[in-house]
Amino acid sequence: MTAVRKPAFQTYDIQLDDEIVDRLRRLAAQTGDTVENLIVSAALDYADRGLSPANAWTEEDRAEIDEGFAQIDRGEVFTQEEVEAQIDAVLR
């Protein structure tokens, strides 16, 4: 007989306000998942990307945002009418 090692788990108590709990429950019901799996999935996503929820922007994101501000500073902007005209041209 072969012994099977069970994975080690850590348990954490977290406090979530009612709105977050309700949103997680609805999402779990819609996806057929459990609230626990949604929370673990979110935690793994942040851990895999090396990010925290408070700092979810990557270096690439920050560089693109900085470039967008630089474009604005250089006057490289479009008016609402120009954007709408471009969208209309694509949709035709």
Per-residue pLDDT reduced to its tens digit, 14-53? 999 999 999 999 999 999 999 999 999 988 887 777 766 6
Would the pTM count as exceeding 0.75?
no
- Distance, CA of 92 to CA of 77 (rounded, Å): 24
Backbone angles phi and psi of 54, in degrees to 5 = -75, -15
Per-residue pLDDT reduced to its tens digit, 42-81? 888 877 777 666 666 778 888 999 999 999 999 999 999 9
Tokens representing residue 19 in the block: 């709105």
